[in-house]
Structure 1
Amino acid sequence: MKEVRFSWFILVPLFITFLNHANSQSQLLHDQEHQVLMRIKDYFHDPTFLNHWTPSNSSYYCSWPEISCTNGSVTGLTLVNLNIIQTVPPFICDLKNLSLVDFSNNSVPGVFPSYLYDCSKLEYLNLSMNFFVGEIPHDIDTLSNLKYLNLSYTNFTGTIPSSVGNLKELRFLALQDCLFNGSLPDEIGNLSNLETLDLSGNELLPPSRLPLNWTNLNKLKVFYMFECNLFGEIPERIGDMVALEELDLSRNDLTGGIPSSLFLLKNLSVVYLWKNKLSGEIPSKIEALNLTNIALSQNRLTGKIPEDFGKLQMLMEFKLSINNLSGEIPQSIGSLPSLTDFVVIMNNLSGTLPPEFGRYSKLQNFQISSNNFTGMLPENLCYYGELITLTIYKNSLNGELPESLGNCSSLQYLKIWSNDFSGNIPSGLWKSSNLVNFMVSHNRFTGELPDKLSPSIALFDISYNQFSGRIPTGVSSWTNVVEFIASRNYFNGTIPHELTELPKLTQLLLDQNNLTGTIPSDIASWNSLVTLNLSHNHLYGQIPDSVGQLPALLELDLSENQFSGQVPSLSSRLTNLNLSSNHLTGKVPSDFQNSAFDTSFLDNPGLCADKAELNIKLCNSGSQSSRKDSSSSWSPALIIALVLAVSLLAIAVLFLLIRLIKKGKRVLNNSWKLTSFQRLSFTESDIVSSMTEHNIIGSGGYGTVYRVNVNDFGFVAVKKISGNGRLDRKLENSFLSEVKILSSIRHRNIVKLLCCPVQHNHVALNWPKRIQIAIGVAQGLSYMHHDCSPPIVHRDVKTSNILLDYQFNAKVADFGLARMLIKPGELATMSTVVGSFGYLAPEYIQTTKVSEKIDVFSFGVILLELTTGKEANYGDEHSSLAEWAWKHFQFGSNIEELLDKEIMEPVYLDEMCHVFKLGVMCTSKLPDTRPTMKEALQALLQSGESYAFGERISVGHYDAVPLLRNSKSEHRLDIDGDS
């Protein structure tokens, strides 16, 4: 007992000593961690967002929101969205137990912080949405405990290192929206525990194959790889990935069919294969009963929608748009209980719609446009009151709309035009509280307009129906309507004054109705009106002067009415004008006496003009008739004398012409047309003598541009159209199109053909002048795309269509191919592809679709010309400068070696590299991944201020380093002799 007691008394002091030592060690660690945290605060220069990090509350740092602790020790540091502009603190791993580091959504610069390797317990690292540059280190596998790695939305370049495949504990890897230019390493297939892989948005990746060792990914749950320009087929062995839950291969160039094994994966929940070139039929056997999202749109799939899709009880999103699918929709799909989005736009589907659509699921988006569906619309589409979008245009659906749509308060977009619907619109539908787009044109609807309309409606298109009655006086309450399109109906009565009270109106189309009365004179509220069409009605009286004073009006059509009086003073901004078939009198205003308006005043017997271009009578025709009547009294001797005089004059003129020809001068015949872009004080005779070969400053397929000195204006540019025989009309139409567009816009970077041209000889351009030119072109195109309504697409942006004045200010010229878009971002289809090789966007060549992004592509080519000194068609007959630049950039070539050697000075080198990269971005093969002209302009304009501070400009999907503007260099440079 004594021995035991002795041991007990010995152990107690030992235990107390151990506890004291542990407490001492814990306090020491606590003090050290607090000191490190205070050093971090000092490192960030005592920011306000860390004001609560104070020395006095050292015992409470685990309660700070940025700190996570385990057993009283710091294990997590989260500094997210705090506008941090410093690098990650190099001493951060002094926090010995740190396992989580999150610096996402800041402005952290520099290269990958390899000193994080000292954080031996690090499992979670998120550096996304920052300004990192350079390559991911090849020894990143030093972080062997990582389970989560997110480096997305940064400027990391180079290749994805194969060592990533050694991070065996990794569950999540996100590298999307970086600037990688290498292929996907096969070693990534070694990540057997990986659940999420996201490589989306790396559009600079070159064509590459999917990893060969797919079978090693048998535990993969999520796989994202869209927008990487992957080629080839999806391997059939994808069926070996039995744990796969989410697959995203969208926005690539994958070909071949969908592997039959794909839909046999029982854990599969998400399949995104949209925007590829997949062909063949959708696999008919489906065992992936957990599928919730299927998106196969924008491919080349054929055949029918498999019946097995009707078994997917968890399916919410089902999108098959823009394919070549045919046949009927399986009836069972209409009864799926979880379906929220059913989108099959632009296929060849036919038959009647399953009547159960919406009855058993909370349907939100029902989009079946551009197919061959027949029959009536299902009654229960809005059964649960959650339907947002009903897009069913361009089918052959008929009958009346379901009455239930009148109670669908959730509906925002109603697009049912170009069908065969009839009857009255359900009364509640006019007033649906959230409706924004009301588009029911080209049907057979009847009835009258309601006094009240949903206050949220912006686009109201009821044209080409059988609506009747008067336009209600309650129209004044439609205050948010932007477009009121009611063409070709049976409306009667007068135009109510209340209609002039809509301040947001940009389009008013009431043509082809039975309206009577006059145009209201007080239309001051129409400050935003761009298009006014009241043609083919029974309107009368004078055209109010206020119509001509509308500040935004570009298109005016009052033809086929009974208007009288004189033509009012109209804005020279008008691009389309039609006052034909009325009772107008007097003289046509001088601003409109040119061939651009040759069909604008027809069939008005009382109108006259001073020029024959308008195809109406001349104002002096009456006096000429009088002279003709009196000529019968002339004597034969006087007539003979006049004939002799004219003959002698003709001989003299011929003699002078021969002398001019001998002197090497060209005489232009009197058949050419000079169309003025604004009111001018000079005539044709003032400039013909200077239109010589010596004064040619440019020429193309549509004619020649001359440099002419006119006293009142200095130097002007005169364009002469030329053609041969059957092409003359086409050239004239193109020229008139150019005149119309130029007359509708005013901007200092859009040519008015009244600017100083460059000299005929080559002009040497140093780098500051090239940047100045790039900014000028960007300003002009940005104005056309974003500030004109409707937007204008040039379609032929190239160096020879950029004029420079003596200060090297750029003017965008030659609008012969330009087109106005219906709305921003909408595509227009041309009948043929026109333009210049090397500048044409690939999607324009392939589809003839026109959008602002084809000008962005051409502008990118100009940037590449400015930085490399090479021509746009540099390469062989199958390639261009854009393709050459992409090839070198993709495969990691040294950009400095691609630039023009004439101005390779250190002060300009970085800037030239960044402009080259911007040119590469603008010439991306995918139009959606190109920046807008406004974004490209922003990158150029802000460069002077931000580059010196190492800041970065965000350009849409891109993160571009700002461009430095410098005006000191005087080194000469000649870009292919084409300035």
Structure 2
Amino acid sequence: MSKIPLSILSLLFLIFPFHGTSQTSTNSEQSILLKLKQYWSDPAPINHWNSTSTHCDWHEITCTNGSVTGLSLINTNINGTVPPFICDLQNLTLIDLQYNYFSGPFPTGLYNCSKLKILDLSQNIFTGPIPSDIDRLSAQLQSLNLSGNIFTGDIPTAIGKFPELRILRVFLNGFNGSFPSEIGNLSNLEVLEMSFNNFSMMAIPSSFTQLKKLKELQMRESGLMGEIPETVRNLTALEVLDLSINSLTGNIPSGLFLLNNLTILYLFRNQLSGAIPQVVEALNLAEIDLSANNLNGTIPDDFGKLTKLSGLDLIFNQLSGELPASIGRLPSLEVVKLFNNNLSGVLPPDLGKYSMLKEFQVPSNHFTGNLPEYLCANGALTGVIAFDNHLTGELPNSLGNCRSLLIVQVNGNQLSGSIPSGLWTSIHMKALILNDNLLFGQLPDKLASNLSRIEISNNMFSGEIPAGVSSWKALTVFNASNNHFTGTVPQGLTALPHLTTLLLDGNQLSGHLPSDIISWNWLNTLHLSRNQLSGPIPAKIGSLPSLTDLDLSGNELSGQIPPQIGLLKLTLLNLSSNLLTGTIPVEFENKAYDNSFLNNSGLCATNPSLLGIDVCSSGPQNSSKILAVIVSTAAALFALAMFFMFLVVKTYRKRKCGLDSKWEFTQFQSLNFSELDILSSLTESNMIGSGGSGKVYRVVLNRWGKVVAVKKTRNIRKLDEKVEKEFLAEVQILGTIRHSNIVKLLCCISSETTKLLVYEYMENSSLDRWLHGKNQRLSVSGPVHHAVLDWPKRLQIAVGTARGLCYMHHECSPAVIHRDVKSSNILLDSSFNAKVADFGLAKMVVKHGETNTMSVVAGSIGYLAPEYAHTTRVNEKIDVYSFGVVLLELVTGREASNNGDEDTCLAEWAWRHIQDGNPLVDALDEEVKEPCYLDEMTCVFKLGIICTGTFPSTRPNMKEVLQILLSCCSHRPELGEKIDGSENAGSPLLKNSRRERLLDDEDDSLVSNV
């Protein structure tokens, strides 16, 4: 057979192209994809992958010229491992598997994907080290994202062998070792994010042997350490560098500020020291965050050359000197945060004049002179926070015309003059905190509709409290102590429905107190001492449902103490130095109120042991007492009759309108009341609280003497999605679970526009009211003693809460994650037994131990686990973190997010206390710290530290937490019972857990004494 000429053969191929290879390749790729689907057990999100459709049409697949080049399986709930045959898709350039449940070691089978340019394995549960030969991945690799996994060990030096790499993200893992200098070889690198690998050992006292061992173990598992290598100067293409929340030490390399392309620099929350490099040539820098380190020296003058700089955050360092004036002229500057340093001098006068300045925070420094006049020159300023400096002069007039302002906090200076009138009524203003200055002037009739905090104590304000105060509807805190106010306490002040704190002590107020208190259902602190008030104490004060702190001392109040005052759950009471007469309510005849009634010559007590008070005689005073009882009883009967009449009228009106036929009543317990019994009692006088999704009522079911709490969603035409979701979550969870340490949901009552949840009523309110709802203050007669939640009760509460959470995590099927554990969501019954409440944010976990992805981050500041802000992935460990914060609250008495340092949470404060070498006992609450309790308190403090560890994998689970907590109180048989409902109740911690091995080491347990 003669050969076909090559020219003719070529022509034939041009005219009749051969498709066999391409079609075979297409069929083969589809088979590989279907094989992957089968390997991963046919996950529902890709059930549209089938042989009857074209794989290039599947939205997870990218094809180029008919061949698969991209595989994107994002958030598709895939479990298992990544099989090597994935690289049989020979033209893959992109593999994106983020937000799944892939596990096992790093998938080395990906080495065979020879054309791979983008690899994203983030937000999975890969474990073990990154292979030392990771450079066997494609040399064309441009983006590598391994963040949000559980990779441990060193970051290998081979990471520096990718000549084309532009993006490297390895944050939120468990790396130890040091920053590999070989990263400096990545000359094309544009984004380097290695944050959140933090477990520092710095300055833990050697006496904390067991705690130190625990941290050593955690550091072996987690914690990028060492210094930032000088080789970073070689990363000339670098635009974003994030090394925050690590344990990096040493100085900031000078070469870092010479990188011309650098735009974002995050080095916050490390242990960096020394001075900030003074020569700055990285003129493209837009954000600099060096906060929470140990930096000293001055702020570089060259920062004034950074014309693109929008954010400068240097808080919590030891910087000194002045803020360069040139920084005030930067055209892009939006955020300045400098608080908690040693800065001094005059603030740059041009701040805000040339830029859209939004945040200005310079508190806790030594600045002098005036506040800059142009802070709000461009109308974008949201906050002026400059407290605890040495500022003088008047507040800038421009602030009065600043409609964007949310907060002005300049307390603790020597500011003088009057308040710009527009500041009171600025449309978005929420807080004016001006305490401890030399300001003067009068209060306005009208305030901004959103203004919720006015704090002007220790100034020179004068005049009367205006009659228009009744229009200040949003006000929650009004602190005007130690000024020169005159006139009476206006009736309108009692009409503020959200008021929680009213401090008017140390003024020149006179006249009688308002007898008719309209809307103080939320008020918990009332201080009117050191005025010239006269007349009787209004009996209505005794009916305030939330009042815990009452100080009326140093006035001219007369008459008897209303017996209703004895019904209050007061943690502080001071009625001393008045003209009161008669018998002290029997509820206050104990040592807790020894100094509460001094300097009232007409008062007497039936208890002779009450210090400083005469014992009541059997004469006229007893007759007066009997008369008072008769009068009060008659008044009570009359009030009761009026109440029943009100109920009858209300019920008639409801039936007349046909409202009762529109409600659906669902019981979760056996009940002896109906929906009408609840609906008829939802009045303003019964309201005890309100929040973002509705109101809470205290309802007394008179026919049975039972008290319940009713949570009511907003009355709107159509419930919004958020409220509906929270309502359904609470019903779904509380309607099915039963535990003595979880609040009981009795029933659900719903209509088209309103939802009601009826719970058992908790007599002692919430834990935060007992821990933080009072302040011990000095009165005219000395310190005021008040009832305190003692340590045995606190320990009882801790154990009860742990039992409830343990049940939710380990005994419920599926498990329940609360997501909002905090002291205000721990309710206390009459015996101070703790019950976990408010499940509106809770989430049922599909599989125990797995993580779930949430669309938004939810929770409360100070209690949020740090990883929760970096990923919407949640598991039980976020509850463990929050519970650890509650333990620290119980043992220190401090609040979760207000510890004297702005933006510092209690967990961070506790660690700083230890890192600074302070004795642990100094952190304990002085009000309950007694020698017999120190062992237990230090044990609980340590447990709180462990529960609030930065890395989730090093936190114990709730079963372990409960066992350790029970060990802390092992000599208290009433607390040391088995874990409720657990088939493994009472068993020791699992011996294969790293934590238990540590506790067994050298026979020295976590709960040993310091």
The TM-score bracket by the shorter chain reads 0.5 to 0.7
What code does the residue aligned with 2:401 have? N
Deviation at 1:350, TM superposition (A): 3.0
Give the counterpart of 2:916 among 830, 846, 850: 846
Q: How does 1:894-909 map to 2 (within 5 A)?
A: none
Q: How does 1:112-123 map to 2 (within 5 A)?
A: 112-123=106-117
**What are structure 1's unaligned runs of at least 5 residues?**
208-224, 626-734, 753-766, 773-777, 794-809, 830-838, 856-864, 874-879, 883-917, 943-962
CA change 1:272–1:503 in 2 (3 A) is same
d(CA) in 1 for partners of 2:254 and 2:40?
A: 55
CA change 1:38–1:931 in 2 (3 A) is closer
Q: How does 1:583-662 map to 2 (within 5 A)?
A: 583-620=579-616
d(CA) in 2 for partners of 1:267 and 1:15?
A: 49
Indicate yes or no: 2:493 matched with 1:499. Answer: yes
Deviation at 1:110, TM superposition (A): 3.8
Q: Paired residues, what number?
A: 716
SS, match of residue 342 in structure 1: strand
Q: How does 1:290-309 map to 2 (within 5 A)?
A: 290-309=284-303
Give the counterpart of 2:168 among 170, 173, 179: 173
d(CA) in 1 for partners of 2:114 and 2:171?
A: 26
d(CA) in 2 for partners of 1:179 and 1:386?
A: 40
d(CA) in 2 for partners of 1:491 and 1:103?
A: 66
Q: Verify the 8 A CA contact 1:182 1:206 in the aligned structure 2.
A: no
SS, match of residue 126 in structure 2: coil
CA change 1:820–1:561 in 2 (3 A) is farther
Give the counterpart of 1:333 among 314, 327, 350: 327
Give the counterpart of 2:22 among 22, 26, 34: 26
Indicate yes or no: 2:461 matched with 1:436. Answer: no
Q: Verify the 8 A CA contact 2:888 2:941 in the aligned structure 1.
A: no
What code does the residue aligned with 2:916 have? Q
CA change 1:38–1:451 in 2 (3 A) is farther
Give the counterpart of 1:195 among 187, 190, 196: 190
> What do residues 868-925 of structure 1 show as CA deviations (whole Å, max 9, x unaligned)?
xxx999xxxxxx998xxxxxxxxxxxxxxxxxxxxxxxxxxxxxxxxxxx9985375x
State the match for 2:439 in structure 1.
445
SS, match of residue 323 in structure 2: coil
Larger gyration radius, structure 1 or structure 2: 1
d(CA) in 2 for partners of 1:736 and 1:488?
A: 18
Q: Verify the 8 A CA contact 2:412 2:437 in the aligned structure 1.
A: yes
> What do residues 160-214 of structure 1 show as CA deviations (whole Å, max 9, x unaligned)?
344434444433222211123444555555545443332211124889xxxxxxx
State the match for 1:148 in structure 2.
143
CA change 1:360–1:479 in 2 (3 A) is same
Deviation at 1:415, TM superposition (A): 1.0
d(CA) in 1 for partners of 2:152 and 2:267?
A: 26
> What do residues 732-781 of structure 1 show as CA deviations (whole Å, max 9, x unaligned)?
xxx998962239978963699xxxxxxxxxxxxxx99xx99xxxxx99x9
Q: How does 1:804-843 map to 2 (within 5 A)?
A: 820-821=893-894, 823-827=895-899, 843=913
SS, match of residue 740 in structure 1: coil
> What do residues 374-397 of structure 1 show as CA deviations (whole Å, max 9, x unaligned)?
332222111111112211112232
Q: How does 1:869-948 map to 2 (within 5 A)?
A: 921-922=946-947, 924=949
What code does the residue aligned with 1:150 have? N
- Higher RCO by CA contacts (8 Å cutoff, separation 6 or greater): 2
d(CA) in 2 for partners of 1:89 and 1:482?
A: 59
Q: How does 1:537-936 map to 2 (within 5 A)?
A: 537-563=531-557, 564-569=559-564, 570-571=566-567, 573-620=569-616, 740-742=788-790, 749=797, 784=823, 787=826, 820-821=893-894, 823-827=895-899, 843-844=913-914, 846=916, 921-922=946-947, 924=949
CA change 1:260–1:364 in 2 (3 A) is same
d(CA) in 2 for partners of 1:89 and 1:154?
A: 18
d(CA) in 2 for partners of 1:499 and 1:850?
A: 44
State the match for 1:411 in structure 2.
405
State the match for 1:512 in structure 2.
506
State the match for 2:688 in structure 1.
none
**What are structure 2's unaligned runs of at least 5 residues?**
203-218, 622-782, 801-805, 812-816, 829-859, 863-882, 902-908, 926-934, 964-979, 992-999
Deviation at 1:965, TM superposition (A): 5.4
State the match for 1:108 in structure 2.
102
What code does the residue aligned with 1:583 have? L
> What do residues 824-843 of structure 1 show as CA deviations (whole Å, max 9, x unaligned)?
311159xxxxxxxxx98562
CA change 1:578–1:930 in 2 (3 A) is farther
d(CA) in 1 for partners of 2:526 and 2:919?
A: 27
What code does the residue aligned with 1:826 have? N
Q: Verify the 8 A CA contact 1:599 1:614 in the aligned structure 2.
A: no
What code does the residue aligned with 2:117 have? E
Q: Verify the 8 A CA contact 2:257 2:280 in the aligned structure 1.
A: yes
Deviation at 1:127, TM superposition (A): 1.4
Deviation at 1:578, TM superposition (A): 0.9
d(CA) in 2 for partners of 1:436 and 1:813?
A: 28
With 584-593 and 82-91 compared, the bigger mean Cα shift is at 82-91
SS, match of residue 133 in structure 1: strand
Q: Verify the 8 A CA contact 2:176 2:222 in the aligned structure 1.
A: no
SS, match of residue 581 in structure 2: strand
Q: How does 1:281-430 map to 2 (within 5 A)?
A: 281-430=275-424
TM-score between the two structures when normalised by the length of structure 1: 0.63
Deviation at 1:335, TM superposition (A): 1.3
Deviation at 1:497, TM superposition (A): 3.4
d(CA) in 2 for partners of 1:552 and 1:847?
A: 40
CA change 1:828–1:201 in 2 (3 A) is same
SS, match of residue 77 in structure 1: strand
SS, match of residue 350 in structure 1: strand
> What do residues 110-129 of structure 1 show as CA deviations (whole Å, max 9, x unaligned)?
44334333433222111111
Deviation at 1:584, TM superposition (A): 2.2
CA change 1:232–1:83 in 2 (3 A) is closer
What code does the residue aligned with 2:30 have? H
d(CA) in 2 for partners of 1:178 and 1:443?
A: 48
d(CA) in 2 for partners of 1:783 and 1:24?
A: 66
Q: How does 1:481-496 map to 2 (within 5 A)?
A: 481-496=475-490
> What do residues 517-565 of structure 1 show as CA deviations (whole Å, max 9, x unaligned)?
4444554633332222122223333333442333332211111223331
Q: Verify the 8 A CA contact 1:326 1:350 in the aligned structure 2.
A: yes
CA change 1:492–1:228 in 2 (3 A) is farther
Deviation at 1:576, TM superposition (A): 1.4
d(CA) in 2 for partners of 1:139 and 1:751?
A: 49
Indicate yes or no: 2:492 matched with 1:467. Answer: no
What code does the residue aligned with 1:846 have? D
Q: Verify the 8 A CA contact 2:174 2:951 in the aligned structure 1.
A: no
Q: Verify the 8 A CA contact 2:71 2:96 in the aligned structure 1.
A: yes
Q: Verify the 8 A CA contact 1:921 1:931 in the aligned structure 2.
A: no
SS, match of residue 585 in structure 1: strand
Percent pairwise identity: 45
Deviation at 1:417, TM superposition (A): 1.4
d(CA) in 2 for partners of 1:816 and 1:191?
A: 46
State the match for 1:687 in structure 2.
none
d(CA) in 1 for partners of 2:952 and 2:29?
A: 47
What code does the residue aligned with 1:461 have? E
Indicate yes or no: 2:138 matched with 1:68. Answer: no
CA change 1:192–1:851 in 2 (3 A) is farther
Deviation at 1:580, TM superposition (A): 1.0
Q: Verify the 8 A CA contact 1:282 1:303 in the aligned structure 2.
A: yes
SS, match of residue 615 in structure 2: coil
d(CA) in 1 for partners of 2:192 and 2:234?
A: 17
Q: Verify the 8 A CA contact 1:407 1:429 in the aligned structure 2.
A: yes
CA change 1:175–1:964 in 2 (3 A) is farther
